[in-house]
Structure 1
Amino acid sequence: MAQSVVVQVGQCGNQVGCRFWDLALREHAAVNKKGIYDEALSSFFRNVDTRSGGDGPDIYKGKICSLKARVRQSIKALLIDMEEGVVNEILQGPLRDVFDSKQLITDVSGSGNNWAVGHKLYGYQYRENIVEKLRKAAEHCDCLQCFFIIHSMGGGTGSGLGTFVLNLLEDEFPEVYRFVTSVYPSGEDDVITSPYNTVLAMKELNEHADCVLPIENESLFDIVNKIHQMINSGKLGSTVKQNSLVTSSAGSAKTVQEKPFDAMNNIVANLLLNLTSSARFEGSLNMDLNEISMNLVPFPRLHYLVSSLTPLYTLADVNVPSRRLDQMFSDAFSREHQLIQADPKHSLYLACALLVRGNVQVSDLRRNIERLKPSLHFVSWNQEGWKTGLCSVPPVGHSHSLLSLANNTCVKPTFIELKDRFMKLYKKKAHLHHYLHIDGMEQSCFSEAILSLSDLIEEYNELDATKGKDVN
């Protein structure tokens, strides 16, 4: 079975990654009732010898199942953060026994919301350490298929050190696919330098990633807010489980303003859960992760895939009536279910992948694609640009789910807005001195980064100009 290594960088990357492992372990426990280390677990876990201490600990301290043996299960992951707070929380939490303490890299001072500090300073300072730990993680994979990087774009460590790691992966493992889940800041982000950090990081993503899943904080916030409103109004006819991410410890519904990030991170974790399901479980039409890049990225730089997820409810936390199958497919193409502020139906598709989980037939997939095709605009040279995957194991608490990944020009407005926010700061030369005093950082880095983003936008413009034209 193909295997992957996850690299979690920065506060956001580690919080999302931690939530992903939590949900993945719940899924494996629900399927693997006997608690035996099996092929499905091997996709992201490895065995660590614990014979000196007798039986290994539960894979998830009493919350999942007793996957006990003479070995312990350890996650194939590398955790990096230049502030140690979040990683320390993880190591003191219920997941502490599934992380290898030798696969952690932390510092204490942070990157000060400065891409240059993360990329140029900490990148070169920790380069050898990062390479060594990446190689060790890769050595535990019999068939290494891809690296997942999870990071945010607005801060210093996630954007700077996250993209530095991306470059290292290309140098050290050029044949292994690089999937990046990037969380983009909202326009009202409280980090004043986030437009600089994001645009500087974008240049690296343009050049060194195979696939990028851009996710906007603003979309996540809107989705969480909508879930709360529907639950509170009773429209879902749903019940919220005790101690879930959308309730307080007392069991009453949280207001989103209190602490939205747990529920927001949960949505991103569920995206990754669906994306990796075919690597972790059996299915009649399983899709390898490398097939996504091969089928959905016709041009190397246009590798930004817009994701939508249905059902959107935090899957392990809310009991909701099962959505009709056809409605689920319709939802996946509506703007309310996109994880960026976009409307793919009114933009141009280069290609689209549908990853379905649960008791769904191939005929259901084909029927819904034929039903939806007339309302979707595909480039003339790829009218049949669909890739489908079926995993037989549904998410916990649901009969089926659907993840749509669209290579669609609707991502362009996100990049245009980002460029505008960058230029407002850059024209005033605001805060540039914080970056330019870092060794190796020059003003040309900014001009090259905005040129790279402008070129990307222009490529989308050229595609949009072909909409409605039949080019033979």
Structure 2
Amino acid sequence: MTQSVVVQVGQCGNQVGCRFWDLALREHAHVNKKGLYDEALSSFFRNEDSRGRDGGADTVGGRIQRLKARAVLVDMEEGVVNEILQGPLREVFDSTQLLTDVSGSGNNWAVGHLTYGSAYREQIVEKLRKAAEHCDCLQCFFLIHSMGGGTGSGLGTRVLSLLEEEFPDVCRIVTSIYPSAEDDVITSPYNSVLAMRVLTEHADCVLPVENQSLVDIVNQINHMSQGGKPLAAIKRDSAIICGQGGLCGAEKPFDAMNNIVANLLLNITSSARFEGSLNMDLNEIAMNLVPFPRLHYLVPSLTPLYTLADVSVPTRRLDQMFSDAFSRDHQLIRADPKHSLYLACALMVRGNVQVSDLRRNIERLKPQLPFVSWNQEGWKMSLCSVPPVGHCHSLLALANNTCVKPTFMELRESFTKLYRKKAHLHHYLQVEGMEKSFFSEALSSLSSLIEEYQHLDATKRSLVPDAPRLAIAT
């Protein structure tokens, strides 16, 4: 069995990570009634005996002694991590795998990336190595961070660089929370564009999630739960609706939004955690969905957003789930995939769904979805038999689609507005090691990425197959 390590950086990264571990424990408890340490648990948790040693499945007849998350928690403000350590999940985290400071990064990428990145480099590497040593077969690092703040964007991308440096052969999947246009952090465009350069160069896959999309989805769920959708009876124990999950206390302001991202991670890791008739290896995500190394931004889409009260699911509802996965309302970024070009797409299904259902819906939807001419069969399928708690089934779609381009163009425009005025630039340039060239190089990298997507879009209406002049990943 392979194992993966989750690296949480910054306030947002740790809050989302906490929701993931909360819901993952709830999910495993729902399936693992006997409380045995099994292969499913070992994928993201280790079993530690009373002496602090890894116990494995043989410890006291395979029973769980002390379950520890395969996680590294980093934040340059100690508030969120301290809150986790005082909460119901405190026993799940190894205190030696936490790294905090007190002053924060001041919403400054340079402070996070250069100041703290240099000061804490050895400690971060040591904690990453220790987490890796606890794995029999390390398959993937999941990095969770935000793009708008200083620690998430700056130190988060520094950690990503260290992961490539120390573990070049281990897959790096990054979940990046992008700020909304009305973000209250004035320097978020700087932080996001500076972070984008590192994500483009050092990640294997990036799952971009926009704050505004999360707000829209939460509002949509609330509307449904209040009777806005006819004939829809909402189960209040749904893992997506219920902000409290299974272990946490009182609901907090961003819990509902964090839960959506946590459910994205639950779905993408389901094949690694549970059995299924068509499980997808995590390495296969990058292998099958990323034909060009830099174009590794995968648009996530989740369905259903709510749970219907009845247990039996008619075929028409199952088909609707597949249709919803390709609608704008279910995407975690604001984009229109049907009017853009697909390079590849993965469908990760959980619950009692047959391979025939999957293939039938792909054939039904294919005529509506414009795929690049040289990869018309660019579909990857995954079936996990264990549904999320409170659901009959669920679907996560990961689309490598040029529809991310407008998001990146908006980001570039916001960056340029600030940069032309040299607004707040001195806060960055006074950081040791930070140079003005960082800004121009980051902007150039983003513009180059946008151009690559534009070049692909230009081939969309071509009747003659015309593979873009880009280096295909090997």
Q: Shared topology, TM-score over 0.5? A: yes
**Do structure 1's residue 213 and structure 2's residue 207 form an aligned pair?**
yes
- How do 1:335-414 and structure 2 match up within 5 A? 335-414=328-407
- How do 1:249-328 and structure 2 match up within 5 A? 260-313=253-306, 324-328=317-321
Task: Label 1:11 to 1:411 Cα distance change in 2 as closer, same or farther (>3 A).
Answer: same
**Do structure 1's residue 186 and structure 2's residue 180 form an aligned pair?**
yes
Task: Label 1:52 to 1:222 Cα distance change in 2 as closer, same or farther (>3 A).
Answer: closer
Amino acid at match of 2:6: V
Task: Label 1:20 to 1:454 Cα distance change in 2 as closer, same or farther (>3 A).
Answer: same
Where in structure 2 are there 5+ consecutive unaligned residues? 56-60, 466-474
Q: Which residue pairs with 1:60 in the alignment?
A: none
Identity in percent: 77
Per-residue deviation, residues 350-371 of structure 1 (Å, max 9, x unmatched)? 0000000011111111000000
Per-residue deviation, residues 298-330 of structure 1 (Å, max 9, x unmatched)? 0000000000000123x7xx9677581100000
**Do structure 1's residue 95 and structure 2's residue 72 form an aligned pair?**
no
Q: Which residue pairs with 2:132 in the alignment?
A: 138
Checking the alignment, whether the CA contact within 8 Å between 2:35 and 2:64 is kept in structure 1 is no
**Do structure 1's residue 238 and structure 2's residue 234 form an aligned pair?**
yes
Q: CA deviation at 1:241?
A: 4.4
Checking the alignment, whether the CA contact within 8 Å between 1:348 and 1:379 is kept in structure 2 is yes
Task: Label 1:125 to 1:320 Cα distance change in 2 as closer, same or farther (>3 A).
Answer: farther
Task: Label 1:172 to 1:231 Cα distance change in 2 as closer, same or farther (>3 A).
Answer: same
Per-residue deviation, residues 153-190 of structure 1 (Å, max 9, x unmatched)? 00000000000000000100000010000000000000
How far apart, CA to CA, are the structure 2 residues paired with 1:259 and 1:223?
17
When normalised by structure 2's length, the TM-score is 0.91
How far apart, CA to CA, are the structure 2 residues paired with 1:99 and 1:246?
23
How far apart, CA to CA, are the structure 1 residues paired with 2:238 and 2:272?
30
SS in 1 for 2:363: helix
- How do 1:407-426 and structure 2 match up within 5 A? 407-426=400-419
How far apart, CA to CA, are the structure 1 residues paired with 2:244 and 2:228?
18
How far apart, CA to CA, are the structure 2 residues paired with 1:95 and 1:452?
40
Amino acid at match of 2:418: L
SS in 1 for 2:119: helix
Identify which of 58, 70, 77 aligns with 2:71.
77
Q: Which residue pairs with 1:450 in the alignment?
A: 443
When normalised by structure 1's length, the TM-score is 0.92
Q: Which residue pairs with 1:25 in the alignment?
A: 25
Checking the alignment, whether the CA contact within 8 Å between 1:51 and 1:71 is kept in structure 2 is no
How far apart, CA to CA, are the structure 2 residues paired with 1:208 and 1:447?
19
CA RMSD of aligned residues (A): 2.3
Amino acid at match of 2:435: E
Task: Label 1:374 to 1:244 Cα distance change in 2 as closer, same or farther (>3 A).
Answer: closer
- How do 1:40-59 and structure 2 match up within 5 A? 40-50=40-50
Q: CA deviation at 1:48?
A: 1.4
How far apart, CA to CA, are the structure 2 residues paired with 1:115 and 1:320?
48
Task: Label 1:310 to 1:70 Cα distance change in 2 as closer, same or farther (>3 A).
Answer: closer
Checking the alignment, whether the CA contact within 8 Å between 1:50 and 1:70 is kept in structure 2 is no
Q: CA deviation at 1:52?
A: 9.0
Checking the alignment, whether the CA contact within 8 Å between 1:241 and 1:319 is kept in structure 2 is no
Amino acid at match of 1:42: S
Task: Label 1:368 to 1:247 Cα distance change in 2 as closer, same or farther (>3 A).
Answer: closer
SS in 2 for 1:377: coil
Per-residue deviation, residues 178-224 of structure 1 (Å, max 9, x unmatched)? 00000000000000000000000000001000000000000000000
Alignment length, in residue pairs? 451
How far apart, CA to CA, are the structure 2 residues paired with 1:151 and 1:243?
22
How far apart, CA to CA, are the structure 2 residues paired with 1:468 and 1:43?
44
How far apart, CA to CA, are the structure 2 residues paired with 1:202 and 1:338?
20
Task: Label 1:393 to 1:50 Cα distance change in 2 as closer, same or farther (>3 A).
Answer: same
Amino acid at match of 2:174: V
Where in structure 1 are there 5+ consecutive unaligned residues? 56-66
**Do structure 1's residue 441 and structure 2's residue 437 form an aligned pair?**
no
Q: CA deviation at 1:242?
A: 11
Q: CA deviation at 1:140?
A: 0.7
Q: Which residue pairs with 1:38 in the alignment?
A: 38
Q: Which residue pairs with 2:218 in the alignment?
A: 224
Q: CA deviation at 1:240?
A: 2.6
Identify which of 119, 134, 137 aligns with 1:125.
119
Q: CA deviation at 1:244?
A: 9.1
Amino acid at match of 1:186: S
- How do 1:147-226 and structure 2 match up within 5 A? 147-226=141-220
Amino acid at match of 1:358: G
SS in 1 for 2:120: helix
How far apart, CA to CA, are the structure 2 residues paired with 1:338 and 1:247?
19
Q: CA deviation at 1:51?
A: 5.1
Checking the alignment, whether the CA contact within 8 Å between 2:237 and 2:390 is kept in structure 1 is no
Q: CA deviation at 1:71?
A: 2.7
